[in-house]
Amino acid sequence: MDIGKLPNQLLSQLLARIGCRDPRVIVGPGVGQDAAVIDMGPRLLVAKS
């Protein structure tokens, strides 16, 4: 494997196996998704990279 990012197919397979178990996560990890949304109660936390 070359240095750098994982191939999209491999990343997709890894994310499918790991998943996201926290119900507060509204938008979680995914191929091509550079942001997350987490329910913090009265507010939402939006993080981007």
Longest dimension (CA), the chain: 44
Look at residue 20 and tell me if it is in a domain: yes
Q: Count CA atoms within 13 Å of residue 7 on its CB side.
A: 5
Per the CB < 8 A criterion, the answer to whether 36 and 46 are in contact is yes
Look at residue 14 and tell me if it is in a domain: yes
Look at residue 21 and tell me if it is in a domain: yes
Look at residue 3 and tell me if it is in a domain: no
Query: Partners of 47 in the beta sheet?
Result: 36
- pLDDT tens-digit readout, 1-49: 678 888 999 999 999 998 889 999 999 988 988 899 999 999 999 999 8
Q: What is the pLDDT of residue 49?
A: 87
Give per-residue burial for 19-41: e unless 16+ CB within 10 Å, then b.
Answer: eeeeeeeeebeeeeeeebeeeee
The residue segments making up the domain with residue 43 are 8-48
Q: What is the pLDDT of residue 29?
A: 87
Look at residue 40 and tell me if it is in a domain: yes
How many structural domains are present in the chain?
1
Look at residue 31 and tell me if it is in a domain: yes
Would the pTM count as exceeding 0.85? no
Look at residue 30 and tell me if it is in a domain: yes
